[in-house]
Amino acid sequence: MKALVTGGAGFIGSHLTETLLAEGHEVMVIDDLSTGRVENLGAVVGSPRLLTHWGSILEDERLQEFVDEAQVVYHLAAAVGVRLILEKPVETIETNVLGTDRVLRCAAKGQKKVVIASTSEVYGKNDQVPLREDDDGVFGPTVKSRWSYACSKAIDEFLALAYWKAHGLPVVIMRYFNTIGPRQTGQYGMVVPRFVQQALAGRPITVYGDGNQSRSFTDVADAVAATIAASRHPKAVGEVFNVGTGREITINELAALVRDLTGSRSEIVYVPYEQAYEGGFEDPRRRVPDVSKLRAIVGVVPQVELVTTLRKVIEFSRAKPHPSR
Least Å from the CB of residue 208 to ligand UDP? 4
Interatomic CA distance for residues 133 and 153, integer angstroms: 14
The stretch among 20-28, 51-59, 203-211, 235-243 that binds ligand UDP (CB under 6 A) is 203-211
Indicate the residue among 47 and 252 with the shorter CB distance to ligand UDP.
252
Q: Minimum CB separation from ligand UDP for residue 320, in Å?
A: 19
Shortest separation between residue 33's beta carbon and ligand UDP, angstroms: 21
Dihedral (CA of 250, 251, 253, 257) sign: positive
Q: Show the site string, 103-142: x = touches ligand UDP by CB under 6 A, - = not.
A: ----------------------------------------
Residues 263-292 that bind ligand UDP (CB under 6 A): 283
Q: Which of 208, 227, 264, 317 is close enough to bind ligand UDP by CB under 6 A?
A: 208
For ligand UDP, the closer CB: 139 or 208: 208
Among 78, 207, 223, 230, binds ligand UDP (CB under 6 A): 207
Q: Any idea which residues carry the catalytic annotation?
A: 149
Q: Is there a contact between 255 and 195 (Cβ–Cβ < 8 Å)?
A: yes
298 contacts ligand UDP (rule: CB under 6 A): no
Q: Should residue 191 be labelled a site residue for ligand UDP when binding is judged by CB under 6 A? A: yes
Helices (H), the chain: 11-22, 63-69, 82-87, 89-93, 99-110, 146-167, 191-201, 220-232, 251-262, 273-276, 292-293, 306-319
175 binds ligand UDP (CB under 6 A): no
Site string for ligand UDP, 51-90 (x = CB under 6 A): -------------------------------x--------
Of 253, 259, 261, 272, residue with least CA distance to 202: 259
- Candidates 120, 4, 243; CA nearest to 16 is 4
Query: Per-residue string for binding with ligand UDP, 210-239, x by CB under 6 A?
Result: ---x-x------------------------
Cα angle, residue 52 at apex, residues 48 and 58 outer, rounded to 5°:
155
The three-state (H, E, C) secondary structure of 166-219, written as one string: HHCCCEEEEEECCEECCCCCCCCCCHHHHHHHHHHHCCCEEEECCCCCEECCEE
Nearer to ligand UDP, 63 or 122 (CB): 122
Which amino acid, residue 324? S
Binding of residue 178 to ligand UDP (CB under 6 A):
yes
- What are the Cα distances from residue 126, in Å, to 135, 175, 222? 8, 15, 24
Instruction: Give the other-Cβ count within 10 Å of 125's Cβ.
Output: 15
Q: Is 194 in the site for ligand UDP (CB under 6 A)?
A: yes
Q: Which stretch binds ligand UDP (CB under 6 A): 39-47, 52-60, 94-102, 200-208?
A: 200-208
Among 251, 258, 294, 298, binds ligand UDP (CB under 6 A): 251
Q: Which stretch binds ligand UDP (CB under 6 A): 4-12, 93-101, 106-114, 185-193?
A: 185-193
Other C-beta atoms closer than 10 Å to the C-beta of 212 total 12
**Angle at CA of residue 218, ends 98 and 274, nearest 5°:** 65
Contact positions toward ligand UDP, by CB under 6 A?
A: 82, 178, 189-191, 194, 206-208, 213, 215, 251, 283
